[in-house]
Chains A and B, each alone.
Chain A
Amino acid sequence: MSSKEHLLFLRKSKRNKIIIRSFQILIFFLFILFYELFGRNNIINSFITSYPSKIFSSLISLFINNNLLFHIFITLKEVILSFIITNIISIIVSLILFLFNTFDKIVEPYLTMINSLPKVALGPLIIISFGSSSSSIIAMAVLISVFTSIETISNCFKNTSTSIIKMLKSFNASTIQIIWYAIIPCNYKNIISSFKISISLCLIGTIMGEFLSSKSGVGYLILYGTQVFNMSLVMASIIVLLIMSLCLYLIIKYIEKHLI
């Protein structure tokens, strides 16, 4: 049986939750309402920005006539593949950097330098190397996300509790055992946080790659819409991207909640 104070606390936190959710929904609907009104009445340049009802009909027509699901599938496939490759590389490289301190110091300036390089500048090089195919798009996404991911994960590995490592060493644990029992499990949460960043970067990289060379995908739709001045198509594709990004984030959040 809950006490009076506890019931009051529960009621207060429930009310707080309702207020937050209500305002989030209200802001969304107000944004849609004003966007529609301003667009229809030419208060904003609807040729550039379009407006919600037009975007929605564009979405429906995309779905019926232009095989929207196929484009989403292509982009999603590239994002997921690049995400997997990015994180496998990041975890392996981070472990190497953690284990070999001297090597870490040798490559540190190079990693920082490459990380700060705008990867899109390497686009032509990637297309020449991988050809005008989905491989070059995946390569672009990996390039964009992998260095940030390495930096985040290797910093987490380096910050693993020294007392836990010391304890394992005092029991004569091997390097593999230290990685297996301490480095990876103690950093589950940090690795998942890095996944959240890398999934967004992979999506950005995939769209950039699709801008450079593609015949399908959501990035291709945006580029095509821009070339034919169909801004409703551009905005509809951007909305699809936002929904994709949200879904991918929620999947990782679900994994975080249920597996860790």
Chain B
Amino acid sequence: MNSIVCLDNINKSYHSLDYEVKVINNISFKINNGEFVTIVGPSGCGKSTILNIISGLDKDYDGVVTFGEDISISYMTQEESLFPHLSILDNALIALKVKGKLNNNSINYVNGLLRKYGLFDIRYKKVSELSGGQKQRVSLVRTLSIKPNLILLDEAFSSLDYVNRLKISEDVYHIVKEENISALMVSHDIAEAISMSDRIIVLSNRPACIKKEYLISLGDSPIENRNNKDFNYYFSKIWEDINE
């Protein structure tokens, strides 16, 4: 299977005048085409830093990151990053505008996504008038608008209530699988990670290194996967790894 991104011996430290903190220690892994990978680990171990490195937001690291051909990355962060003064449609189109890819076809594609997520009829509403779940859907449409082949999800559903979180994780999973997109998610929610992923990478405490990797093979629905007989097995194993 071809890999879409490959991290080779990544090391990363944060510096201040008084001290240096090593956060990532020799991490190497790759993500294959169409694969859904989740990174879990203790709080503050450097999970988000890995996403920042892959997305190009953080260029100050040692090691090599190589990408597959025609890579197009979209990043969905844990913080709300919608423009409150813009409409749903304008927010959804912002990535296309920035990338200079705004045309009739791309607008139609975004309108299709908005229709799919129940936002089309309210597309001229300002995002400040939306609920948390609707805002997250707008972020998702924006993330998908550029037709990425790798999406990075940094605790992307953490601000949602439980029901919306389950619903949106189901949506994201199906988009990733239907569109053959690869996904790298960072989550502190072990259940969410098991229910959505093909593979889970467990990181150690700082400086983070890969402690274990699990290949997950459950069903095709994250919500139903939570009732799978193997779910608890994975959960207890990963729980032990994180709290060891």
- Using a CB–CB cutoff of 8 Å, the interface residues on chain A facing chain B are 161-164, 166-173, 177, 181-182, 185-186, 188, 260
Asked if B85 and A170 make an inter-chain contact with CB atoms under 8 angstroms apart, the answer reads no
B177 at the interface (CB under 8 A from A): no
Asked if B99 and A167 make an inter-chain contact with CB atoms under 8 angstroms apart, the answer reads no
Asked if A170 and B97 make an inter-chain contact with CB atoms under 8 angstroms apart, the answer reads no
Chain A, residue nearest B145 (CB)? A171
Query: Which residues of B sit under 8 angstroms from A168, Cβ to Cβ?
Result: 94, 98
State A167–B52 Cα separation when bound (angstroms): 11
CB distance from B30 to the nearest CB of A (A): 21
Query: Which residues of B sit under 8 angstroms from A169, Cβ to Cβ?
Result: 56-57
**Could you list some 17 contacts between A and B, CB below 8 A?**
A162-B79, A163-B77, A163-B81, A164-B81, A164-B83, A167-B77, A170-B152, A171-B75, A171-B94, A171-B95, A171-B98, A171-B99, A172-B98, A172-B99, A185-B83, A185-B85, A185-B86
- Using a CB–CB cutoff of 8 Å, the interface residues on chain B facing chain A are 55-57, 73-75, 77, 79-83, 85-86, 94-95, 97-99, 146, 152
Query: Which residues of B sit under 8 angstroms from A260, Cβ to Cβ?
Result: 85
Instruction: Give the one of A167, A173, A186, A188 with max B CB within 10 A.
Output: A167
Asked if B98 and A186 make an inter-chain contact with CB atoms under 8 angstroms apart, the answer reads no
Query: Which residues of A sit under 8 angstroms from B94, Cβ to Cβ?
Result: 168, 171, 181
CB distance from B101 to the nearest CB of A (A): 10
CB distance from A89 to the nearest CB of B (A): 25
Partner of B97, one of A172, A181, A185: A181
Partner of B75, one of A161, A170, A186, A188: A170
- What 10 pairs across the A-B complex have the smallest Cβ distances? A163-B79, A170-B75, A167-B81, A163-B81, A173-B98, A171-B98, A171-B95, A170-B55, A164-B81, A177-B98
Asked if A186 and B85 make an inter-chain contact with CB atoms under 8 angstroms apart, the answer reads yes
State A170–B74 Cα separation when bound (angstroms): 7
State A260–B77 Cα separation when bound (angstroms): 28
Asked if B99 and A170 make an inter-chain contact with CB atoms under 8 angstroms apart, the answer reads no
Given contacts A185-B83, A186-B85, contact A166 B98 (CB under 8 A): no
Asked if B81 and A172 make an inter-chain contact with CB atoms under 8 angstroms apart, the answer reads no
Asked if B81 and A161 make an inter-chain contact with CB atoms under 8 angstroms apart, the answer reads yes
CB distance from B226 to the nearest CB of A (A): 30
Query: Which residues of A sit under 8 angstroms from B83, Cβ to Cβ?
Result: 164, 181-182, 185-186
State A166–B74 Cα separation when bound (angstroms): 12
CB distance from A60 to the nearest CB of B (A): 47
Given contacts A181-B98, A186-B85, contact A170 B57 (CB under 8 A): yes
Query: Which residues of A sit under 8 angstroms from B81, Cβ to Cβ?
Result: 161, 163-164, 166-167
Query: Which residues of A sit under 8 angstroms from B75, Cβ to Cβ?
Result: 166-167, 170-171
State A162–B52 Cα separation when bound (angstroms): 14
Known A167-B75, A170-B152, A181-B83; 20 more pairs at CB < 8 Å:
A162-B79, A163-B77, A163-B79, A163-B81, A166-B57, A166-B75, A166-B77, A166-B79, A168-B94, A170-B73, A171-B98, A171-B99, A172-B56, A173-B98, A177-B98, A181-B94, A181-B98, A182-B83, A186-B83, A186-B85
State A168–B146 Cα separation when bound (angstroms): 13
State A182–B82 Cα separation when bound (angstroms): 10
CB distance from B165 to the nearest CB of A (A): 19
Chain B, residue nearest A163 (CB)? B79
Query: Which residues of B sit under 8 angstroms from A188, Cβ to Cβ?
Result: 85
State A186–B146 Cα separation when bound (angstroms): 23
Chain B, residue nearest A189 (CB)? B85
Chain A, residue nearest B146 (CB)? A171
Query: Which residues of A sit under 8 angstroms from B98, Cβ to Cβ?
Result: 168, 171-173, 177, 181
CB distance from B70 to the nearest CB of A (A): 15
CB distance from A176 to the nearest CB of B (A): 11
CB distance from B105 to the nearest CB of A (A): 18
Chain B, residue nearest A169 (CB)? B57
Chain B, residue nearest A164 (CB)? B81
State A173–B80 Cα separation when bound (angstroms): 18
CB distance from A94 to the nearest CB of B (A): 19
